[in-house]
Amino acid sequence: MNTIKEATYIEILDTTLRDGAQGEGISFSVQDKLAIAQTLDELGVRWIEAGNPGSNPKDMEFFRLASSLKLEHAELAAFGSTRKKGVSVAEDMQVQSLLAAKTGAVVVFGKSWDVHVTEVLRVSLDENLAMIGETIEFLKKNNRTVIFDAEHFFDGYAVNPHYALSTLKIALESGVDRLVLCDTNGGGFPDSIAHVVKETLAALGGGTREPENEHPLCAKLGVHLHNDGGMATASTLMAIKAGCSHIQGTLLGFGERCGNAALAEIIPGIELKLKRCCIAEGSLERLFSTVRKVAEISNVAVPDSMPYIGASAFSHKAGMHADGILKVSRSFEHIEPHTVGNSRRFLISEIGGRSAIAERVKKIDPSVTKDHPAIAALAAKLKALEAEGWQFEGADGSFEIMARQELGKYQPLFTIADYRVVSEHSACGVAAYCHAWVKALVDGQQEIAAAEGDGPVNALDEALRGALKRFYPQLSQARLTDYKVRVIDGKDATAAKVRVLIESTDGMHTWTTVGVSTDIIDASHIALVDAIEYKIISDIERRFKAYL
């Protein structure tokens, strides 16, 4: 952890591996969890809530293997509930599993809303307090750092503040290290969250501990907020301004129901806007790549519109915006993109203007200005193609290939001489058979490949790669991650042109290509060929730059 004054440090607890795993469509293997834990540690979060060892064998296996991780910044924490009613702590198997996980820290949740105590747990209010206190005391006697999640605290405080606070007080008396106020239902507004945080600090006798000024409240106060009202990020930042120094969330925001507070949005807010430290020094510039690595392991897409680290976070389409950015970056951007590892993008379209086109083309030739003849030619070509249904603002790969052609910096790496796609269906419609055949030419050498697939586009994709992998083995690293089809003009019905957008990745980089045709297979073929060419060209240029 950074050697900085505690008063300026905000602790991050990432619960991607626990609360995030409860998100719809999320399923981590043990190896996935190990890889994500290592990645989060490299970012420099303070705690990684890694799972509930008492709930399933997979999490217990993770904790068994986790000792092999070489963590430099983070500490793992096991998660579980307070003891059950009518059972002593020492005999509670769930509490024992927290010890068996052998983590230095544990996160224990308990009820702080009286309705949950009496109607869900069906115990007395005093018994619930005993369950909280006895569990924390037991874990502290076993040398664990204990983080207490006061479940449903904000809802409980709204109806019975005395009892909600009593759950925190018993935790403090029992030696807890962190008190966390949970908006478990996720409906709180930022101002109300901040108000309750301030009142809680006042009721408990102060703020967080500072080296030069010991407050009566010795535990750090934190929040764990869900996003059911779409305000978890704002509420978390407001809670910090109100006095919290420990926050919880998941890196990409996925989790139960609408998800958790998204740390990828919150961390830059803390570091750049609140001027507080929360991750390892120098790690903020790795946020963009870290998010994508975790997304790749989790098999989810990073939303383009996600603040700070989305593909569209620093994208500019209007000509006026592009012109302003090129003159004064802060005119249309609240931070510099590189501070979070992202980059500025000028979206290519008929309304973008020559300045935006020139800025994009500088990636290929830094000497190009908006007065270059190729820029005028590209602008004219864009307008003509977009009138026919092409769209390049979301197809960076295809635009770059077209720009290279106009600049005279394009040399075909292969030619697809012929291709054929066949789909056969049984009479009952149960079985389907799709295969593709491709003849490719590379430097005068011919290669023929055939492949079966789950549908005609998948078969064509496999056949194209099969024909080219002998010449370009790096294609085995790339895969298609998204496929979109849009009918351009519905009045032509089944004879209408379609636009196909294909997103591809090699695990580190993502690019999109486009194809347009009245034949959906042909449109797919155009986009697939561009995707393959872009991958090969990009790899060649990266190797060349590394050599220099």
CB of 89 closer than 8 Å to CB of 51? no
Please state, as a whole number, how many other Cβ atoms lie within 10 Å of the Cβ of residue 494: 6
User: How is the chain split among helix, strand and coil, in percent rounded to 5?
Assistant: 45, 20, 35
Q: Which amino acid is present at 218?
A: C
Q: Are strands 246-249 and 145-151 parallel, antiparallel or unpaired?
A: unpaired
Token pair listed for 419: 């291709």
User: In CATH, what class is 415-547?
Assistant: alpha beta
* Greater model confidence, 52 or 507: 52
In percent, how much of the chain has pLDDT > 90? 70
Average pLDDT of 139-147? Answer: 98
| 8-280 carries CATH number 3.20.20.70 | yes
2 CB contacts (<8 Å, ≥6 apart)?
9, 44, 277, 280, 281
pLDDT for residue 321: 67
3-state helix/strand/coil string of 356-421: HHHHHHCCCCCCCCCCCHHHHHHHHHHHHHHHCCCCCCCCHHHHHHHHHHHHCCCCCCCEEEEEEE
Type of residue at 139: L
pLDDT tier for residue 492 given thresholds of 50, 70 and 90: low
Question: Residue 210: pLDDT band by 50, 70, 90 thresholds?
Answer: very low
Question: Torsions phi, psi of 467, nearest 5?
Answer: -75, -25
Mean pLDDT of 477-501: 83
Tell me the average pLDDT of the chain: 90
pLDDT at 216: 57
| Residue 222 three-state SS | strand
pLDDT at 2 over 60: no
Give the C-alpha separation, 547 to 509, whole Å: 20
Residue 389 pLDDT: 85
Helices (H), 226-298: 232-242, 263-268, 287-298
Which residue in this structure is represented by tokens 């009202």? 229
d(CA 446, CA 533): 17
Residue 490 scores a pLDDT above 50:
yes
Give per-residue pLDDT as tens, 24-46: 999 999 999 999 999 999 999 99
For residue 350, pLDDT over 50 is answered with yes
Q: What is the pTM of this model?
A: 0.75
- Report the distance separating Cα 142 and Cα 101, nearest Å: 13
Quote the pLDDT of residue 55: 87
Dihedrals phi, psi of 435, to nearest 5 degrees: -145, 155
Q: Tell me, what's the pLDDT at 211?
A: 39
Element (H or E) spanning 190, and its range?
Answer: helix 190-204
Q: Does residue 268 or residue 379 have the better pLDDT?
A: 268
- Per residue, the 3-state secondary structure of 39-97, as one string, reads HHHHHCCCEEEEECCCCCHHHHHHHHHHHHCCCCCCEEEEEEECCCCCCCHHHCHHHHH
User: Can you give the pLDDT at residue 214?
Assistant: 40
Angle made by CA atoms 185, 181, 249, in degrees to the nearest 5: 70
Q: What is the pLDDT of residue 4?
A: 34
- CA 67 to each of CA 37, 101, 163: distance values in angstroms, whole numbers, following the listed order: 12, 10, 39
Q: Does residue 330 register a pLDDT over 70?
A: yes
Quick one: pLDDT at residue 431?
Answer: 60
pLDDT at 212: 39
Tens digit of pLDDT for each residue in 412-449?
899 999 999 998 877 665 567 799 999 999 998 999 99
pLDDT at 493: 67
SS3 343: coil
pLDDT at res. 429: 59
Q: Are 185 and 155 in contact (CB under 8 A)?
A: yes
Residues 88-102 pLDDT 10s: 999 999 999 999 999
Give the start-to-end residue ranges of the domains of the chain.
Answer: 8-280, 315-407, 415-547
452 or 488, which is more confident: 452
What one-character DSSP code corresponds to residue 301? P
Q: Which of 175, 181, 112 is nearest to 145 (CA)?
A: 175
> Among all chains, which residue has been given the structure tokens 């496929």?
483
Interval 505-547: pLDDT, tens:
988 888 999 999 999 999 999 999 999 999 999 998 888 776 6
Q: Which residue has the tokens 């599993």?
A: 97
C-alpha triplet 489, 491, 493: angle, nearest 5°: 90
Instruction: Give 310-320 pLDDT, tens digit per residue.
Output: 988 988 776 66
